[in-house]
Amino acid sequence: MLLKVNLKKIIILRRYYVNRAIIIMVIIIRGLYVHIPFCEKICSYCDFCKRVPKNEQMIWDYLKTLKAEYETLKERYQTIYIGGGTPSMLNVEQLKYLLAIFKDQKPLEYTIEINPESYTDQKGLIFKAYRVNRVSIGVQTFQERLLKPLNRQHTNKDVFFAIKNLTEIGITNISLDLMFSLPNQSLADLKADLAIVKKLNVKHLSYYSLILEEKTLLYQLYKKGLYKPNDSDFEALLYEQIIKNLKSFGYKQYEVSNFAKAPRYHSLHNLLYWSLLPYDAIGAGSFGFDGKYRYSHTNNVTKYIEEPKVTKTYQDDYTLYQDFLIFGLRKTAGISILETKRLFKRNPLNDFPTLYSFIDQGFLKYENDWLKVSQKGLFVLNQIVEVFI
């Protein structure tokens, strides 16, 4: 069927600005996600696959398994994203071994996540040597007292050093991961964070609200009555301040939680997820999608090392249609109704007439073939996408 062919080779357009001219590059794109589950300490809010390594040998065994799994793949990747966990906690030799696994690839965008306290100038030079061109720094907040309940170990000094050092060695595409609605966070705390963001002037920001997840340390505190999440009105106030301030700083919101200085700094890899494009994944706890199947690896690091097998789930056309709409409305550009009809032979405005109610209330806009969330609709997006489930 047309759907199953096109999802593997959808052509997307990305803008590159050179000498003030816009060059449109046509890319047939596929990505690779690589998961490094190891952490020196476990953050209280994190529900990703992670663990403190038993010893150095466990890390080496994991990296060797990762390499063996990668060697079963035969694709060329335009994006590689190494996440975690904490990839930057690897020592110099482990980091070289990891990045050497992908030396045959020449991705357009090559991202690695770091925690500020485990970054060093030597590691930055290794990134540069292996052609890593984008670094995502886990900051969460610049209010150091608020980091303690999150079990984060870095200081602002660590963050500023990492940004300065990466820039000096020529890796200027830097993204900061930030969070709001944190335990004991005030509006003044958020505004102080935003003032620092303005001064740092990095290319990209991801700004997520803290979500209370089961199987986290924070959830255990919640169950014991030792932590109370912020109410939805306060969270909405903080989110409104983030959108307003970042816009005034020159950032454009291109997805619910993501902001960039220019289109060329959009996270090309994350756009794969939101656009239902294919991506491979290796490592414990990682998820991939080949256009027909979603697949996952075990969260158990020891079991992954023993046998890195995947569990596959077939995605029928209607499931893909639902995902296309749900993820598509996360992007501020929205969904092309014409493209939706071409891919799925369906019109969401006919299939889900409740959407017209959201349009009438101003939560959605339908203009020139595009269905998109309005600014006030961003605050009720979860209710909107429930229509598709």
Pull the structure tokens for residue 106.
């020449």
- pLDDT band at residue 28 using 50, 70 and 90 as cut-offs: low
Q: Which residues contact 155 (CB under 8 A, 6 or more apart)?
A: 116, 117, 144
Residue 252 phi/psi, 5° resolution? -110, 130
pLDDT for res 215: 87
How does residue 16 score in pLDDT terms, banded at 50, 70 and 90? very low
Q: How many CB atoms lie within 10 A of CB 179?
A: 22
- Per domain, the residue ranges of the chain are 30-273, 336-389
Mean pLDDT of 145-152: 95
CATH of domain 30-273: 3.20.20.70
pLDDT band, very low/low/confident/very high, at 18 (cuts 50, 70, 90): very low
Average pLDDT over residues 88-104: 98
Is pLDDT of 22 > 60? no
Query: How do residues 50-86 score in pLDDT, each as one tens digit?
Result: 999 999 999 999 999 999 999 999 899 999 999 999 9
Residue that has been written with the tokens 């979500």 in this structure = 211
The predicted model scores a pTM of 0.91
Tell me if the bond preceding 85 is cis, omega within 30° of 0. yes
